[in-house]
Structure 1
Amino acid sequence: MENKVPHVLLLPFPAQGHINSMINLAQLLCLAGFHVTFLNTDHNHDRLLRFTDIQSRFSPWPGFRFRTISDGLPVGHPRSADRFMELVDSLRTHMKPLFREMLISNRRELDAVTFIVADGIMMFATDVADEVGIPILTFRTISACSFWSYFCIPGLAENGELPFPDGDMNGLIKGVPGMETFLRRRDLPSFLRVKELNIPSLQFIWTETQNTTRSAGLILNTFEDLESPILSQIRSHCPNIYTVGPLHALLKSKLSNNNNSSSSSSSLWKEDNTCMTWLDSKPPKSVIYVSFGSYATVTRDEMLEFWHGLVNSQKSFLWVIRPDSITGKGEEGQIPAELEEGTRKRGFLVEWAPQVEVLAHPAVAAFLTHSGWNSTVESVFAGVPMICWPFFADQQINSRFVSEVWRDGLDMKDLSCSRETVEKLVREVMEGKREELRTSSNKIAEFARQSVGVGGSSWNNLERLIEDIRSMSFPLH
């Protein structure tokens, strides 16, 4: 038995934030000596190969391999947030039978898959795993607090808190245990802002989250000191939880401990590293970093208001603007002269940036973010205060925890992104509340560093995860 090596298949939901976390976990499992298969969609794997050196990142581990599978969508499909359910429906219709056939064929191979880690919104994988007799763990790439709010949706519906009436968005929600004193209607995930409960996206998240209890355990990219009270609530329903975050930092810690420096980007966009040289030219804590992630979109009018606010704040700014992030572009070429001039003096625009490195740069003082979980936990680890402008899904609740629980940022949820509001909040985070926010941020960052160090909670939970995968792959009976 000692010579048997687990072969773990990882199945991420095909979106940047999910892939990032899953690839970091894949590399950690390689470091444990496991054989690992990373099952990516054809579309996203093509982008990985085009924009990264992902193959060389995993070259030290001959037991690692990429495999690809169709997501069922045509090549030109945008795969954007506003067409989320089209992707979901295609995955369930087209990917599920392909995944089943792949596993059945693989069982006849010498190095057969012995374990599956599937994204928590790919729960069809649990059906297939049960059918072919392979143990499975669920990996939710969102925060514990947002997962718990999803899990409580049935109770909210039963006690009449969903759907909520039009109007008072500041009414407190009482049906999410542990959040009764601060969770407002506006802080619930965006898909709960509905007048009926039979909306497909709501039903999908509701069902997928409840199905988490069917797997052998739940992996979360968080750490105990950040979300301990909410983790206690989740454990009453999902007792076997592995908190192994921040994963990007735990991976770096493990690589360092193993004298291995093989780590690189897993971005689906080409990173522009010239922004790092620009940051090198700036004084410490003088720049606000702006990025709305890999999925969120803004209208052209919103983009211009943010731009005016940043320029009017008189602060230096590094802004990531994806080519596909602006909807309703209209007159693309007509940028007001004052914005062009202000950007020449104090700004730097890129289509994509190496975010972890940017947040760690001494020049960065604050982060204007969409509050996606990867961005949030990366900012937490770097000790960088946030201004939160959540876009959809879990981001609404993440931003509430940033402002009201962890107190390491400001929440502009549901505020107009007018130039006046943007300027005011940028000045507030970099001047008015600077020391207060920095104190909170530094304290939480220290907890994060301890969690991923030798003997820390995330370090130990990863060790437990590795041993559990080993024992479930090769049960004694």
Structure 2
Amino acid sequence: MERQISNSGMEQRKGRRLVLFPLPLQGHINPMLDLANILHSRGFSITIVHTSFNSPEPSNYPHFAFRFISENLPEDRRACCKTDLIAFLLTLNEECGPPFRDCLADLLSDSSEEPIACLISDAILYFTQDVAHELKVPRLVLRTGAASSFCVFSAFPLLREKGYLPIQDSQLEEPVVELPPLRVKDLPSIHTNDPEDLYKVVTSMVNQSKASSGMIWNTFQELEQAALETLHQQLGVPLFPIGPFHKRFAATSSPCSSLPHDETCLSWLDKQVPQSVVYVGFGSLAIISETQFLEIAWGLANSNQPFLWVVRPGLIRGSDWLESLPDGFLEALGGRGHIVKWAPQQQVLAHPSVGAFWTHNGWNSTLESICEGVPMICMPCFTDQRVNARYVSEVWGIGLQLEKGLERGEIERTIKRLMVKKGGENIRERVSCLKKKSYACLSRDGSSKQSLDDLVRHISSLESLTFHTY
């Protein structure tokens, strides 16, 4: 397993550059930067192209070159990132084309730099396929989500034809016969002013991935073999499952974050009993109502389990932070609860005191929980999180889903079922088994190590396809 970036790897540059372009959302930036570190360790020079919106700090990555483009998003469109994510993604794909083309053309014409072997861009930045084709640069796609959820995205035309989409409230509990074990309520959806926009983003992402030179996945064969085989048949391009990314190296820098980590949570965890703490974190984009916030608070309190809860500013609609909590709520718990604005999640999940992760089931969070052998309580909010949650609870059997919504009694029962009931032991055994597989796949003969070797060879084979006249 690769644990650090070796000096010999840095000295023996392949004489080829890779241009990486992440989607400017935290859950997408971090995996792309992890991938950049992985490929840099294999001898490639790295140039990161990034929008001015949500840009990472280049000084944290001195071994990469950075180029920033202006996406010309007005302030109201930037705000859409949280109020109408699909509208934001559509605008990003519409506005970034010209500045990205100019940037890539400039990089190609720079004779002082090493030649470019290929572009690697986020699957959701589907406009980059046309730019790459125009400039005769091979494009590889990074999909930061699960292979299982991408199978659902690729089935959108069929799901529409069969009447599952657009989703109707009367159908929510019906099974999706073509995609077991999913139910209609598990299909990816998100609030947007125009439901057709979601369909457009998804189908464009899938179609332009099919037109690419291959796809890179932050997953591993032993976890998603069936989905990867299905996608190989459907997409017709090489697939490279080389994850889990974050386990390949000792941390060389903190993950990109808009909020500073509150390190007090680690010292608080040090004082707790092993596998006793419920860690609660819903990612960087989820928004809940004040009523839901209070049900979560009382469900946690009534469970009698210690809990570490990440309540980021903006999580609760209409509130700045914790003003909705009843007076004296935390004090009455006698130190059993600890609330922070942001936490170093990978360190928290690796802490021996953590016994469960109540998560929104974003793919990064789901994969990090699997890698640390922590069972999950699933509360998906939108898009692929719903598919991930169903796979966690019913396919892999490594968590429980809050099927009946956020009600304090249901929350209390679910926590106790996972933490203290016998059924929780079985779940813990299954996730422990997957943890071992997540490490084994990165070993010398592991599936992800072999897939990374294949990826490096594939990139080298693409060099002969790269020709430019500048």
TM-score in terms of structure 1 length:
0.89
- Alpha-carbon distance in structure 1 between the residues aligned to 2:249 and 2:331: 41
Partner of 1:427: 416
2:360 equivalent to 1:360: no
C-alpha contact (below 8 Å) 2:380/2:386 kept by paired residues: yes
- Alpha-carbon distance in structure 2 between the residues aligned to 1:131 and 1:476: 12
User: Structure 1 167/213 Cα, relative in aligned 2: closer, same or farther at 3 Å?
Assistant: same
201, 214, 221: which one pairs with 1:224?
Answer: 221
AA of the residue aligned to 2:263: N
Shift of residue 442 of structure 1? 0.4
Shift of residue 344 of structure 1? 4.7
User: Structure 1 203/476 Cα, relative in aligned 2: closer, same or farther at 3 Å?
Assistant: closer
Partner of 2:183: 184
2:212 equivalent to 1:209: no
C-alpha contact (below 8 Å) 1:222/1:244 kept by paired residues: yes
AA of the residue aligned to 2:66: F
Partner of 1:406: 396
**What 5-or-longer segments of structure 2 have no aligned partner?**
1-11
- Alpha-carbon distance in structure 1 between the residues aligned to 2:257 and 2:285: 13
Bigger mean CA deviation after superposition, 462-471 or 332-341? 332-341
C-alpha contact (below 8 Å) 2:90/2:201 kept by paired residues: no
1:269-284 maps to which residues of 2 (within 5 A)?
A: 269-284=259-274
User: Structure 1 198/323 Cα, relative in aligned 2: closer, same or farther at 3 Å?
Assistant: closer
Shift of residue 267 of structure 1? 2.2
305, 316, 341: which one pairs with 1:315?
Answer: 305
- Alpha-carbon distance in structure 2 between the residues aligned to 1:4 and 1:469: 11
Partner of 1:256: none
248, 251, 266: which one pairs with 2:249?
Answer: 251
Task: Give deviations 1:115-162, integer Å, cap 9, x for gaps.
Answer: 100100101000000000000111111111100000011112223333
55, 68, 76: which one pairs with 2:59?
Answer: 55
Shift of residue 219 of structure 1? 1.0
- Alpha-carbon distance in structure 1 between the residues aligned to 2:366 and 2:466: 41
Task: Give deviations 1:437-475, integer Å, cap 9, x for gaps.
Answer: 111110111111111222211111112112211221245
1:395-474 maps to which residues of 2 (within 5 A)?
A: 395-413=385-403, 415-432=404-421, 433-474=423-464
Partner of 1:125: 128
Shift of residue 421 of structure 1? 1.4
2:177 equivalent to 1:174: yes
Shift of residue 78 of structure 1? 2.9
- Alpha-carbon distance in structure 2 between the residues aligned to 1:334 and 1:140: 38
Task: Give deviations 1:227-255, integer Å, cap 9, x for gaps.
Answer: 11111111102341000111101234xxx
- Alpha-carbon distance in structure 1 between the residues aligned to 2:287 and 2:137: 39
- Alpha-carbon distance in structure 2 between the residues aligned to 1:377 and 1:215: 25
Aligned residues: 451
Shift of residue 170 of structure 1? 1.8
Shift of residue 427 of structure 1? 1.1
- Alpha-carbon distance in structure 2 between the residues aligned to 1:476 and 1:118: 17
- Alpha-carbon distance in structure 2 between the residues aligned to 1:330 and 1:268: 16
Partner of 2:375: 385
Bigger mean CA deviation after superposition, 423-432 or 107-116? 107-116
Task: Give deviations 1:284-324, integer Å, cap 9, x for gaps.
Answer: 11101000001111112211110111111111111111112
Task: Give deviations 1:417-437, integer Å, cap 9, x for gaps.
Answer: 111111111111111132111
Bigger mean CA deviation after superposition, 295-304 or 391-400? 295-304
AA of the residue aligned to 1:377: L
AA of the residue aligned to 2:212: S
User: Structure 1 343/388 Cα, relative in aligned 2: closer, same or farther at 3 Å?
Assistant: same
C-alpha contact (below 8 Å) 2:156/2:199 kept by paired residues: no
- After TM superposition, what 4+ stretches of structure 1 lie above 4 angstroms from structure 2? none
- Alpha-carbon distance in structure 2 between the residues aligned to 1:370 and 1:281: 26
User: Structure 1 97/206 Cα, relative in aligned 2: closer, same or farther at 3 Å?
Assistant: same
Shift of residue 106 of structure 1? 1.8
Partner of 1:98: 99
AA of the residue aligned to 2:50: N
Please tell me the root mean square deviation across aligned C-alpha atoms, in Å.
Answer: 2.3
C-alpha contact (below 8 Å) 1:161/1:175 kept by paired residues: no
- Alpha-carbon distance in structure 1 between the residues aligned to 2:46 and 2:13: 16
C-alpha contact (below 8 Å) 2:363/2:388 kept by paired residues: yes
C-alpha contact (below 8 Å) 2:356/2:376 kept by paired residues: yes
Partner of 1:370: 360
- Alpha-carbon distance in structure 2 between the residues aligned to 1:476 and 1:350: 49
- Alpha-carbon distance in structure 2 between the residues aligned to 1:157 and 1:262: 45
Shift of residue 198 of structure 1? 5.9
Shift of residue 343 of structure 1? 4.7
Task: Give deviations 1:376-434, integer Å, cap 9, x for gaps.
Answer: 00001110000000000000010000000100000114x22111111111111111132
140, 153, 161: which one pairs with 1:137?
Answer: 140
User: Structure 1 218/80 Cα, relative in aligned 2: closer, same or farther at 3 Å?
Assistant: same
- Alpha-carbon distance in structure 1 between the residues aligned to 2:108 and 2:320: 53
Secondary structure at the counterpart of residue 78 of structure 1 = helix
- Alpha-carbon distance in structure 2 between the residues aligned to 1:3 and 1:452: 23
Shift of residue 212 of structure 1? 1.1
C-alpha contact (below 8 Å) 2:330/2:337 kept by paired residues: no
Partner of 1:233: 230
Shift of residue 217 of structure 1? 0.8
Secondary structure at the counterpart of residue 251 of structure 1 = coil
User: Structure 1 88/165 Cα, relative in aligned 2: closer, same or farther at 3 Å?
Assistant: closer
User: Structure 1 329/198 Cα, relative in aligned 2: closer, same or farther at 3 Å?
Assistant: closer
237, 250, 258: which one pairs with 1:268?
Answer: 258
User: Structure 1 420/249 Cα, relative in aligned 2: closer, same or farther at 3 Å?
Assistant: same
User: Structure 1 43/3 Cα, relative in aligned 2: closer, same or farther at 3 Å?
Assistant: closer
User: Structure 1 334/84 Cα, relative in aligned 2: closer, same or farther at 3 Å?
Assistant: closer
Shift of residue 197 of structure 1? 9.6
C-alpha contact (below 8 Å) 1:310/1:317 kept by paired residues: yes
- Alpha-carbon distance in structure 2 between the residues aligned to 1:232 and 1:197: 33
Task: Give deviations 1:58-97, integer Å, cap 9, x for gaps.
Answer: 33x3xx2122122322458435343213322331232110
**What 5-or-longer segments of structure 1 have no aligned partner?**
253-260
Shift of residue 335 of structure 1? 2.4
TM-score in terms of structure 2 length:
0.90
Shift of residue 211 of structure 1? 2.2
C-alpha contact (below 8 Å) 1:401/1:407 kept by paired residues: yes
- Alpha-carbon distance in structure 2 between the residues aligned to 1:379 and 1:155: 32
Q: Structure 1 vs Structure 2: percent identity of aligned residues?
A: 35
